[in-house]
Amino acid sequence: MSVLHVSTQPFEGQKPGTSGLRKKVTVFQQPNYLHNFVQSIFDSLEGFKGTTLVVGGDGRYYNREAVQIILKMAAANGFGRVLVGRGGILSTPAASCVIRKHGAYGGIVLSASHNPGGPHEDFGIKYNIGNGGPAPEKVTEAMFARSRAISAYHITDAADVDLDTVGKRALDGMTVEVIDSVADYAELMERLFDFDRIRALLASPGYRIAFDAMSAVTGPYARAILEGRLGAPAGSVMRADPLEDFGGGHPDPNLVYAHDLVELMYREGGPEFGAASDGDGDRNMILGHQFFVTPSDSLAVLAANATVAPGYAKGLAGIARSMPTSAAADRVAAKLGIDCYETPTGWKFFGTLLDAGRATLCGEESFGTGSDHVREKDGLWAVLFWLNVLAARRQSVADIVREHWRTYGRNYYSRHDYEGIDSAAAEELMDTLRRQTGTLVGKKLGAYDVASADDFAYTDPVDGSVTTKQGIRVGFSDGSRIVYRLSGTGTEGATLRVYIERYEPDPSRHDDDPQVALADLITIARDLAEIERRTGRPKPTVIT
């Protein structure tokens, strides 16, 4: 065995987006493409010789090949040990958990999350730092800069490592330790939540739950915890076996892509509680019987009820939400007398607040919720948190949410996505809006008075780093809001996201369909940005 120093040339566009580098599998399969990016990661890090790296992914097509390449490059670059999930599998939150628990230097997570998988679909890679969370922007920028100047990478010519049996093996002076993908994570969940109480709830007569793993990474975790440790009947976890192409589906837990689950939950006599998670297990969708919980509301409800869970019995230090997420959580924070932070989109912006002990719960409107237990959003964690709340309150999901609205008011909320539009047209649309922000305040749009308009910029309150151009916000005098931003996770063209929110304090008006309750604002949002004229799209691709 020997280390090879292979000369290479930079590839264009190895720039990490909202959550790592995501490209088509065929792009990653080009000779040296993955190698270049992995070497760019290692070249941007310091002092890792002899330390531990964690490696795992969501099991999508190309996961196994990528793991082998990364192991051989980690050995050649001087890591002392790599912890890798069996079969190369670790959900994103489990990877975060393993990095923290074993004091690793960092980790490489292979996933394109909710994007489809397969030979012609998407693959992704991202680096997480020692706190278990996504690398902050200054680190990802250093990696991108390195990728543009790279001239060689280092790799051992050793044979492939057996990834399918738990245990230690040697790889050219480095130790590869294949670990059970679920064990560390399940043990952490058991410490945070009242498993006895949840077990009792699940054992009550006629109580049924359904969890849709969408043929993605959460299946083994959900089976081990929900069916194994908590006693839910076998079959409660649907689509539980991870597939390289997610069964041809779109592993995105929303009302559109988890339609079988939704159909089951809306059927007469359907389960009391339903949930789904995404490709890499960090997102969650929560459903009650014939009831959908908006992710923004889910964060607010969990925050308001957090102390029922043993891991949060002491209360919350603060709440953080991404800017486009509704202000429902802000109302809970105000009532609890704790701070609420508004950050740019992407979990990497929560890390400093969690590390500093300023926030305990975090959430994003994009079906992401999490806490200081790891440094990623965590789908199954949210499901267990909900089950703990249900077990403590013994009310239906719908009753809990409706009661929440009566107490705090309802933030009607919806996101409209225009996927795969022309990139130049999308940039132009955003630039035009950006120019308008200076002149919008004081204008009337429909029945709404514009009270504020800006391009969101964020100064991290912990480390002072500044991030600009994070979305155009138009605020109205009654607190309603429209936000526009372009996705940073897609791999084809551009995706425009439009986020619409309106606060309704009156409980007699809490039962409307959000699309109806927000209809005027939706029209304003379309007209203001001239979406149809600029993109050719009369309506959104996905509404959540």
Catalytic residue numbers read 113
State whether the Cα torsion 91-93-97-103 is positive or negative.
Answer: positive
| Burial of 204 from C-beta contacts in 10 A (0-12 / 13-18 / 19+) | exposed
| Burial of 360 from C-beta contacts in 10 A (0-12 / 13-18 / 19+) | buried
CB of 134 to ligand VG1, least distance (A): 9
Query: Of these, 231, 247, 310, 488, which contacts ligand VG1 (CB under 6 A)?
Result: 488
For ligand VG1, the closer of residues 77 and 345 by Cβ is 345
CB of 379 to Co ion, least distance (A): 8
Query: Of these, 96, 366, 371, 491, which contacts ligand VG1 (CB under 6 A)?
Result: 366
CB of 37 to ligand VG1, least distance (A): 17
> Which letter does DSSP use for residue 136 in this model?
P
User: Could you give the strand order of the β-sheet that contains 106-110, starting from the edge strand earlier in sequence?
Assistant: 21-24, 122-128, 106-110, 52-57, 81-89, 174-179, 167-171
CB of 324 to ligand VG1, least distance (A): 8
**Residue 10 touching ligand VG1 (CB under 6 A):** no
Query: Of these, 114, 154, 289, 373, which contacts ligand VG1 (CB under 6 A)?
Result: 114
**Which tokens hold the place of 460?**
């991290």
Contact present, 93 and 36 (Cβ < 8 Å): no
Interacting span for ligand VG1 (CB under 6 A) from 236-244, 278-286, 301-309, 404-412: 278-286
Q: Apex CA 323: angle with CA 321 and CA 327, to 5°? A: 65
Query: Of these, 239, 250, 481, 497, which contacts ligand VG1 (CB under 6 A)?
Result: 497
State whether the Cα torsion 343-257-95-486 is positive or negative.
Answer: negative
Radius of gyration of the CA atoms of the chain, in A: 23
For ligand VG1, the closer of residues 79 and 347 by Cβ is 347
Q: Apex CA 214: angle with CA 127 and CA 19, to 5°? A: 20
For ligand VG1, the closer of residues 77 and 366 by Cβ is 366
**Residue 278 touching ligand VG1 (CB under 6 A):** yes
Interacting span for ligand VG1 (CB under 6 A) from 82-90, 135-143, 277-285, 381-389: 277-285
**Residue 347 touching ligand VG1 (CB under 6 A):** yes
Query: Of these, 156, 326, 414, 487, which contacts ligand VG1 (CB under 6 A)?
Result: 487
**How far is 530 from 244, CA to CA, in rounded Å?**
39
Residues facing residue 498 across a β-bridge: 416, 484
**Residue 489 touching ligand VG1 (CB under 6 A):** yes
Residues that bind Co ion (CB under 5 A): 113, 278, 280, 282-283
| Burial of 506 from C-beta contacts in 10 A (0-12 / 13-18 / 19+) | exposed
- How many residues sit close enough to ligand VG1 to count as binding (CB under 6 A)? 18
CB of 420 to ligand VG1, least distance (A): 13
Query: Of these, 122, 212, 282, 297, which contacts ligand VG1 (CB under 6 A)?
Result: 282
CB of 299 to ligand VG1, least distance (A): 12
For ligand VG1, the closer of residues 156 and 369 by Cβ is 369
- What number of helices (H) and strands (E) belong to the chain? 18, 27
**Residue 121 touching ligand VG1 (CB under 6 A):** no
**Residue 133 touching ligand VG1 (CB under 6 A):** no
Contact present, 341 and 359 (Cβ < 8 Å): yes
The residue ranges that bind ligand VG1 (CB under 6 A) are 18-19, 113-114, 278, 282-283, 322, 345-347, 364, 366, 368, 487-489, 497
